[in-house]
């Protein structure tokens, strides 16, 4: 059984930092791309960044230079390090898994959540001014 569990969400002040974690288990053998999405109140779920099978990353323009995705392979945990947080970064952050060998850059174009195969329940990030 595939499990995707996010953690690390919190309330922080603008300009602060936060690290989110996503523990993934139970995936069958194969290639996968992992991604972080954000859903802000009243808005659609959007992709924030992706991490592909070759450990390449790519990010949406709104977070490029501020957010970094990394992965601890032995523990199978995906991280999202968020720096210089802004009020507009507020939202619920989800970890998603795409079955297939796609690059992180291509993953950013797969914006329809239903096209991603596995999801966690999300973790809330609130940034206040």
Q: What is the strand order of the sheet 3-7 is part of?
A: 3-7, 18-25, 77-82, 67-72
pLDDT at residue 111, as a whole number: 86
Q: Which portions of the chain are predicted below pLDDT 70?
A: none
Rg (CA), the chain: 14
pLDDT at residue 33, as a whole number: 97
Write down the H helix ranges in 7-122.
Answer: 104-107
pLDDT at residue 5, as a whole number: 98
pLDDT at residue 90, as a whole number: 97
């Amino acid at each position: 059984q595939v499990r995707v569990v996010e953690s690390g969400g919190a309330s922080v002040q603008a300009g602060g930092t936060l690290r989110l974690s996503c523990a993934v288990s139970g995936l069958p053998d194969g290639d996968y791309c992992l991604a972080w999405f954000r859903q802000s109140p009243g808005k659609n779920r959007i992709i924030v960044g992706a991490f592909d099978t070759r450990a390449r990353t790519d990010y949406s323009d709104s977070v490029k230079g501020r957010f970094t995705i990394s992965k601890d392979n032995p523990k199978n945990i995906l991280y999202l390090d968020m720096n210089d947080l802004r009020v507009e970064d507020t939202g619920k952050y989800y970890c998603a898994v795409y079955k297939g060998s796609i690059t992180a850059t291509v993953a950013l174009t797969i914006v329809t959540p239903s096209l991603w195969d596995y999801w966690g329940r999300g973790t809330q990030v609130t940034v206040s001014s």
